[in-house]
Amino acid sequence: MAAEQVLDPSLPSCRYLLSAILAMEPSDCLLSHARVCGGGSITEQVQQFILDHCLSTHGDLHAPYLKNFLKKLITQVECDHGSVLDQFYELYAHYITSFKDDSLGKRDSRICKRISFIFRDDYSELQTCPHSRVLTFSLKCSINMLEGDTGCSIWPSSLFLSELILSHPELFSNKLCFEIGSGVGLVGLCLAHVKASEVILSDGDLSTLANMKLNLELNNLNVETDTLQRNGDTSSVKCLYLPWESASESQLQDIMPNVVLGADVIYDPVCLPHLVRVLTILLSRMNPNTKYENGELSYKCATDRSDGRCKPDNYDGCNCEPKEGPVAYIACVIRNIETFNYFLSLGDKASLDIVDLTDSLKPMNLLPYMQSYNQADIKLLRVTCRHTNQTTVTWEL
């Protein structure tokens, strides 16, 4: 092959193909990117690019996944009457003899997906990524979506929240950000990247929590478990075991977040009353004497805390009103409208304002190579705590 025919890996189409392989997108998605790289067909140059830049450089890719991809690629090129590079046949033969299909079906099999956020040239003014145009995180996750109470897989709403954080860093930078139901920890990695003053992640499943901690370390962040210790170290993230059912009021009040985040946490009607209770306490936390009883809030005027910790800086004197209260961003896929409406009605009863921001606060498309994820499937809600008797629930569905 002549040197001038070698594909330039910095071309967007090549970058998309590589990113899709690293993120373990379905084979059909990889084939469609490969065709774009080759101007309509999977040429020998494209195959050489896959060998040199995807398979050789990233030798730790999941073997059964690659085996399946190679099979589809070879079949496709043969169907198109193209010529398949010999190395592909050799590699495929190696996978056939070395790995059996049933290794894909193991319930506890872990894989490593690399999620790359791609900042196009016209996004370069963004402070989040001034020099590098690609930001990649490695995430251990399960091929079984139900493992770890669903928390060991990457769900689409966390991809959405991650794009939101990287697109609008000003909403999260220098703020104490607390996530509920954090799963594999991707949102936390993005929060740390945009320099949230503190990142606290939580989950109610212990195996999910263990996997999350592993992922933070894999991406060079330190993990802490003590919420009260505030050392301003933005390279560390706190991880809490926090089941919504048993989280105590004082435990939640101690967190004092500026921003609460939740991705794909509205799906189980049994958990929703507990989730709403947790949100209500977190979002009304500027008054340490706020009580949440039977779905109602009651207030007493705040006094200085006896534990020596400062009152939040948005606390406005003794009239118990926030200057700027905490806010939650909840991203979700509406899979069952009744469950979703149940969440809304519980929120209303608990004096939460729930506003649909889907059309007004859009993230940039930083995952353009992902065909398994569609921003348009996700709803973005802003949740705040009402501090008046007015009912102003805004909802557009």
Ligand X SMILES: C[S@@+](CC[C@H](N)C(=O)[O-])C[C@H]1O[C@@H](n2cnc3c(N)ncnc32)[C@H](O)[C@@H]1O
Measured CA to CA, the distance from residue 234 to residue 216 in angstroms comes to: 13
Q: Which one of 83-91, 264-272, 335-343, 377-385 is the stretch in contact with ligand X (CB under 6 A)? A: 264-272
DSSP letter for each residue of 197-232:
SEEEEEES-HHHHHHHHHHHHHTT-EEE--SS----
Determine, following the binding rule CB under 6 A, whether residue 158 of this chain makes contact with ligand X: yes
Q: Which one of 124-132, 188-196, 262-270, 339-347 is the stretch in contact with ligand X (CB under 6 A)? A: 262-270
Measured CA to CA, the distance from residue 222 to residue 103 in angstroms comes to: 32
70: which residues sit within 8 A by CB, 6+ positions away?
88, 91, 92, 95
Instruction: Give the nearest distance from C-beta 74 to ligand X in angstroms.
Output: 33
- Interface with ligand X (CB under 6 A), residue from 17, 239, 252, 263: 263
Q: Which one of 61-69, 100-108, 204-212, 309-317 is the stretch in contact with ligand X (CB under 6 A)? A: 204-212
Residue among 12, 39, 248, 304 nearest 134 (CA): 12
User: What are the phi and psi torsion angles at 377 (to 5°)?
Assistant: -80, -10
Instruction: Give the nearest distance from C-beta 161 to ligand X in angstroms.
Output: 7
Which 8-state DSSP code applies to residue 41? Answer: S
Cβ proximity of 286 and 322 under 8 Å: yes
Positions 2 through 21 that interact with ligand X (CB under 6 A): none
How many residues of this chain interact with ligand X, rule: CB under 6 A?
22
3-state per-residue secondary structure call for 290-346: CEEECCEEECCCCCCCCCCCCCCCCEECCCCEECCCCEEEEEECCCCHHHHHHHHHH
- Interface with ligand X (CB under 6 A), residue from 21, 177, 199, 265: 265
Nearer residue to ligand X within complex by CB, 25 or 325: 25
Instruction: Give the nearest distance from C-beta 298 to ligand X in angstroms.
Output: 25
Residue positions counted in the chain: 397
Nearer residue to ligand X within complex by CB, 64 or 156: 156
Nearer residue to ligand X within complex by CB, 112 or 271: 271
Instruction: Give the nearest distance from C-beta 151 to ligand X in angstroms.
Output: 2
Nearer residue to ligand X within complex by CB, 203 or 224: 203
Using CB under 6 A as the criterion, what x/- string covers residues 206-225 for binding ligand X? --x-----------------
- Interface with ligand X (CB under 6 A), residue from 203, 281, 328, 380: 203
- Interstrand relation of 222-224 and 379-385 (parallel, antiparallel or unpaired): unpaired
Instruction: Give the nearest distance from C-beta 202 to ligand X in angstroms.
Output: 7
Instruction: Give the nearest distance from C-beta 180 to ligand X in angstroms.
Output: 7
Instruction: Give the nearest distance from C-beta 343 to ligand X in angstroms.
Output: 13
Positions 172 through 191 that interact with ligand X (CB under 6 A): 181-183
- Interface with ligand X (CB under 6 A), residue from 64, 169, 188, 204: 204
Q: Please name the amino acid found at residue 389.
A: N
Cβ proximity of 146 and 208 under 8 Å: no
Torsion sign over Cα 312, 315, 317, 321: negative
Nearer residue to ligand X within complex by CB, 154 or 383: 154
Using CB under 6 A as the criterion, what x/- string covers residues 134-153 for binding ligand X? ---------------xxx--
Determine, following the binding rule CB under 6 A, whether residue 91 of this chain makes contact with ligand X: no
Cβ proximity of 119 and 129 under 8 Å: yes
Instruction: Give the nearest distance from C-beta 105 to ligand X in angstroms.
Output: 22
Instruction: Give the nearest distance from C-beta 52 to ligand X in angstroms.
Output: 32
Which pair of structure tokens corresponds to residue 265?
Answer: 């946490």
Nearer residue to ligand X within complex by CB, 26 or 243: 243
CB atoms inside a 10 Å sphere around CB 92? 18
Cβ proximity of 259 and 327 under 8 Å: yes
**Interacting residue ranges for ligand X, rule: CB under 6 A:** 149-151, 154-155, 157-158, 181-183, 203-205, 208, 243-245, 263-265, 271, 274
